[in-house]
Amino acid sequence: MSRLGNLGARLYRGEVGYDFVGKRKIWYAISILITITAIAGLAVRGLNMGIEFSGGAVFNTPSSKMSVSQAKEVAEKAAGGHTAVVQELGRGGMRIQISELDTKEAVPVQESLAKELGVKTDKIDTQLVGPSWGEEIAGKAWQGLAIFMVLVVIYLAIAFEWRMALAALIALVHDLTITVGVYALVGFEVTPGTVIGLLTILGYSLYDTVVVFDGLKEGSKDITKQTRFTYAEVANRSLNSTLVRSINTTVVALLPVGAMLFIGGGLLGAGMLNDISLALFVGLAAGAYSSIFIATPLVSDFKSRDPQMKALAKRVRAKRAAAAKVEAERGTKDEDHPDAEGDEADLEDAAPAGVVGQRRQPASRNRGRGRPSGKRR
């Protein structure tokens, strides 16, 4: 078995672990800092909305020797100062996009490009998008997102409980805010592909969160009937048992998306891949982070305020205090003493979830009582 597989097995059995829930304030602080940065970037720079949302014109030119900078200069001059976005196409042509450009303003741009390229005007493929159509698309996107959020909350409240549904909703908003903030900071264009990417990452984020919640639901069944672990410790153990699985699925998903973003969009210049690949890449990373460091600790915080969980935590602390007192009084007493076995069992039951390592086996009742060589008299 590989090292990672061995680590996963040990995490699942509870032999090793990391106290994610206990250090939740650190993760909350990091998330708040990242979220504030994203909101600040969105407020200062805003989103670079594509023509599908803001309206405008797209000009596709045939293959030519004109450079991107020349095409940008010609288009902006003919458009009367409107900013042009130029992308090279694989067949040697270019895609020139100018937002907020109406039909009358588009004609001079088309003619100027045709003159510069030395081709007829009808060789420049021109597509116009009205602002009203873009507003309708944006409205439908927000409507779809709102319906998605409501359905997710209803499903999780039925399948698990309302606290888990609330934690999952907060994690989803966290992921969306970070992704949108990154778009504002890097200045990538927001297109319908971006919306598709956002909806896709919400599904990935929920997948990891639901896996952890399912383990937590199973582990916390009849939790009030025992006094070994608090709810926070059970939540932490459930999180550790699915940690390697979450990391593996996230890495496998990020590899092709990263290749599409950095190699396809960066090295090869396929800029049209950037809108969806950036949303997927940032969203997948944020979703993995939120499912581990945000969603489960939030559930633990919400659940720990329940009166039954408070009473359980009080009983667990009392039992551990009693076990610690027994150990202190026992001192250097021989573990093979007949009374040591009961004390040992009490200490094992009282071990908190944060303690890792193999459980010690109680001393055998018959150790040292047998006859030498096992012969009978």
Phi/psi class of residue 46: alpha, beta or left (left: φ > 0; alpha: ψ in -120 to 50)?
left
| Residue 112, token pair as written in the block | 């100027």
Q: Contact, 71 vs 41, CB < 8 A?
A: no
Residue 357: per-residue pLDDT: 40
Mean pLDDT of 254-267: 76
Say yes or no to pLDDT of 264 above 80.
no
Single pTM value for the model: 0.72
Say yes or no to pLDDT of 334 above 70.
no
Spatial CA neighbour of 247 closest among 237, 239, 256: 239
Residue 283: per-residue pLDDT: 85
**Looking at residue 224, what DSSP letter applies?**
G
Q: Give tens-digit pLDDT for 281-303.
A: 888 888 888 888 999 999 999 99
Summary mean pLDDT of the chain: 77
Query: How far is it, in rounded angstroms, from Cα 375 to Cα 377?
Result: 7
Query: How far is it, in rounded angstroms, from Cα 236 to Cα 107?
Result: 63
Residue 120: per-residue pLDDT: 81
Percent of the chain with pLDDT over 70: 78
Report residue 29's pLDDT band, with 50, 70 and 90 as the boundaries. Answer: very high
Say yes or no to pLDDT of 11 above 70.
no
Residue 304: per-residue pLDDT: 87
Cα distances from 94 to residues 67, 87, 349, in angstroms, run: 9, 6, 70
Domains along the sequence of the chain with CATH: 3-49+133-305 (1.20.1640.10), 56-129 (3.30.70.3400)
Residues 6+ away with beta carbon under 8 Å from 318: none
Spatial CA neighbour of 106 closest among 51, 46, 34: 51
Say yes or no to pLDDT of 33 above 90.
yes
Query: How far is it, in rounded angstroms, from Cα 171 to Cα 28?
Result: 11
Most confident of 50-54, 259-263, 315-319: 315-319
Taking CB atoms within 8 Å and a gap of at least 24, the contacts of 32-37 are 34/178, 35/174, 35/177, 35/178, 35/181, 37/181
Residue 208: per-residue pLDDT: 79
Say yes or no to pLDDT of 30 above 90.
yes
Report residue 223's pLDDT band, with 50, 70 and 90 as the boundaries. Answer: confident
Say yes or no to pLDDT of 346 above 70.
no
Say yes or no to pLDDT of 154 above 80.
yes
Dihedral sign computed on CA atoms, order 78, 79, 80, 86: negative
Which is more confident, 276 or 271? 276
Residue 16: per-residue pLDDT: 63
Ramachandran angles phi, psi of 182, nearest 5° = -65, -40
Lowest mean pLDDT of 31-35, 142-146, 212-216, name the range.
Answer: 142-146
Say yes or no to pLDDT of 332 above 60.
no
Spatial CA neighbour of 82 closest among 61, 64, 58, 65: 58
Q: Which helix (H) or strand (E) holds 97?
A: strand 94-99
Residues 6+ away with beta carbon under 8 Å from 91: 63
